[in-house]
Copies of this chain bind each other. A is one copy, B any other.
Amino acid sequence: MIKAAIVGGTGYTGVELLRLLIGHPDVALEVITSRAEAGRRVDELFPNLRGHCDLSFSEPDDATLAACDVVFYATPHNVAMNSVPALLDAGARVIDLSADFRLRDADVWSHWYGEAHACPQVISRAVYGLPEMYREDIVGAQLVACPGCYPTSVQLGFYPLLAAGVVDTASLVANAASGVSGAGRQAKVDNLLSEASDNFKAYGVAGHRHLPEIEQGLTAMAGQPVELTFVPHLLPIVRGILATLYARLTADVDVQALYEEHYQDEPFVDVLPAGQQPQTRSVRGANHCRLAVTRPLGRDTVVVTVVEDNLVKGASGQAVQAMNIMFGLAETAGLDGIALLP
């Protein structure tokens, strides 16, 4: 059994990681930390875990964490980068669900997060945890930086087109919409039910932190600079992202075949038959990314629609998938739950 720890388990990625790790056949969850809730039973905060989890939150302690085989950070940005270096030195393997190690360039990180990076020298040791692109690197990684929820859907959606070099890389558009759980479990007026339900709006239009992460990934896929217009929106649902992607084709290609071939061996990317459209609820609680590719009226603009559960394939499920790869387990271990529909 792999001994696992979670740092910062009181948010939504935390409780989802708990759900997945508790149900994982090869994992023993040893520790879950929270400064704010130390001493409180986990199932008191998250009643869905009653009968499944006897742990209580504890104060974070490096020695205890380092004694585990793998440590997950389910914290806001700016936490992991301050304590991960010590853990790495102690030999622990770390999977960070936050933004701290996603950007390769510390200056870019500082620009978007408004502060200096705490350990720029560690960035290069981090592997970007998108298995569909970096599976081989994840195998031997000591530190994995899990992609953000929007970046996962947008990158997986554009990947086949960019790898094939069949679209104009200067005019990509990603119109994405996320459930409110993506904003976390913080008490903010904007995320109250009375504000966010029965409503829809764009946000971060002038520039969003996930843009540099996405462009970094798309550039790697394309092998050349990519310019993306990225507009996130807030959906009045709890879980789920739908990214609707637009690209101008520069070659006449069978896009359906291109996608089916590209993803034929991927356990968690599901290309729908032509004519079907993905729905966010079809992946609710599951680690799948489900997508469709369409050429409206047969014109030159291709539309890719991609859904994922932002808390699973967009966060905690992807982290478990990375863990499975790191430890040589079946990649789908603990991730074979069926989405809850309706």
A194-228 CB mask vs B (1 if < 8 Å, else 0) is 11111111110111000100000000000000010
**Residues 256-295 of A at the B interface (beta carbon under 8 Å):** 270, 272, 275-286, 288, 290, 292, 294-295
Complex interface: chain B residues within 8 A of A297 (CB): 206-207, 211
Q: How far is the CB of A302 from chain B (nearest CB, A)?
A: 9
CB-nearest residue of chain B to A309: B340
A297 CA to B292 CA in the complex, in Å? 29
Number of copies: 4
- Number of chain A residues close to chain B: CB under 8 A: 90
CB-nearest residue of chain B to A186: B189
* CB pair A244 B233 closer than 8 Å: yes
Complex interface: chain B residues within 8 A of A197 (CB): 193, 197, 236-238
* CB pair A12 B342 closer than 8 Å: yes
Complex interface: chain B residues within 8 A of A39 (CB): none
Quick check: is A47 within 8 A (CB to CB) of the other chain?
yes
Complex interface: chain B residues within 8 A of A77 (CB): none
Quick check: is A301 within 8 A (CB to CB) of the other chain?
yes
Q: How far is the CB of A150 from chain B (nearest CB, A)?
A: 14
* CB pair A244 B338 closer than 8 Å: no
Quick check: is A142 within 8 A (CB to CB) of the other chain?
no
* CB pair A177 B180 closer than 8 Å: no
Complex interface: chain B residues within 8 A of A192 (CB): 180, 185, 187-188, 191-193
Q: How far is the CB of A133 from chain B (nearest CB, A)?
A: 21
Partner among B171, B201, B238, B282 whose Cβ is within 8 Å of the Cβ of A280? B201
- Supply 26 A–B pairs (Cβ within 8 Å), ascending by A: A23-B337, A47-B278, A47-B279, A47-B341, A48-B282, A49-B338, A50-B290, A171-B301, A177-B177, A181-B342, A183-B194, A187-B187, A194-B342, A198-B198, A198-B239, A200-B279, A200-B280, A202-B242, A205-B294, A229-B246, A229-B296, A229-B301, A231-B244, A233-B242, A235-B235, A236-B236
Instruction: Name A residues whose Cβ lies closer than 8 Å to a Cβ of B.
Output: 12, 15, 19, 22-23, 46-52, 171, 173, 175, 177, 179-181, 183, 185-189, 191-203, 205-207, 211, 227, 229-231, 233, 235-240, 242, 244, 246, 248, 270, 272, 275-286, 288, 290, 292, 294-297, 299, 301, 303, 305, 307, 336-342
